[in-house]
Amino acid sequence: MGGDKGRLVIITGMSGAGKSAALRCFEDLGYCCIDNLPPTLIETFLQLYQQVPQSTADIAVVCDVRSGELFGSFREVVQKLSDAGESPEVLFLDCEDDVLLIRFKETRRTPPLGVGMRLEEAIGLERQRLDPLKELASAVIDTSSLTPQQLRERLLGMYSAQDGRPPLSVTLLSFGFKYGMPADADFIFDARFLPNPYYEEQLRPLTGEDAAVRDYVLGCESAAEFLTTCQAMLLIAFPGYRLVHKYNATVAVGCTGGKHRSVALAAELARRLSDAGFRVVTQHRDIQRI
């Protein structure tokens, strides 16, 4: 079902990282979706599904440790599908362990491998099994600091229907270093060398989405040079992504608090990349933080 027939997305990753929410997003995109499909059954399902008349071309399946011992064939199955020309795209959803602990406690649920174990032990065991599979991923998303809506927005931008082969989808993410660097970023640019609008009393309560702050940041000669350099670097790197079967890139721009400089710069860099023909999603991770 890959290639010209449509997209085959295999969703995997840590329990509690948002795989169910992701699958609902794919449903809204018109994908045929299946949850908890053992890897060894993917090929069988594709063969059966191809016989369905007027079926949607795009498929998303979730494969994870709930399959038990059958999950051990994940790597072999992905390779076999690739060799058969199905072009599977592996989407790996990750999350920091301490955030997963909070999520499981809030929902009073137990991780799939958690029978008879403490939560920390179950999460650690699952990570031990899953981390080696990240190298197979076309895209890795860390949901530790993402709301369900932010995850949905990113997936919509990455997997919305396109003509022909999927183009490179770029997520432009602004963030504050004081809240931690995004773990899933492919590129991280540091804007803390620029003058900080926070120290301008009239600009402090505003954000990089406001014209006054945007003009203040982008009006700086160093900012213009910074943006031009970042854009040039990305335009050198992006053409090589398809050669290694990657169709998604996350570009993060950080400042101290993630509210002023990084927001304005990320939005401007997103505009430039969009003008260059890339499909771009812009997210401001920390803009609402105090």
Domain tally for the chain?
Answer: 2
Helix (H) or strand (E) holding 255: strand 248-255
22 and 144 in a single domain? The answer is yes
SS3 state of residue 139: strand
16 and 143 in a single domain? The answer is yes
108 and 194 in a single domain? The answer is no
CA-to-CA separations, 11 to 138, 169, 205, in angstroms, rounded:
10, 17, 40
DSSP result, 167-181: PPEEEEEEEEGGG--
Boundaries of domain holding 77: 3-159
% of the chain exceeding 70 in pLDDT:
93
Residue 2 pLDDT level (bands cut at 50, 70, 90): very low
CA-to-CA separations, 231 to 22, 142, 239, 275, in angstroms, rounded:
30, 24, 13, 11
| 39 Cβ neighbours under 8 A, 6+ residues apart | 63, 67, 70, 71, 73, 74, 76, 77, 78
pTM score: 0.66
* Per-residue pLDDT tens over the stretch 220-272: 999 999 999 999 999 999 988 877 767 789 999 999 999 999 999 999 999 99
What pLDDT is attached to residue 174? 97
What pLDDT is attached to residue 1? 41
In a domain, 290, yes or no: no
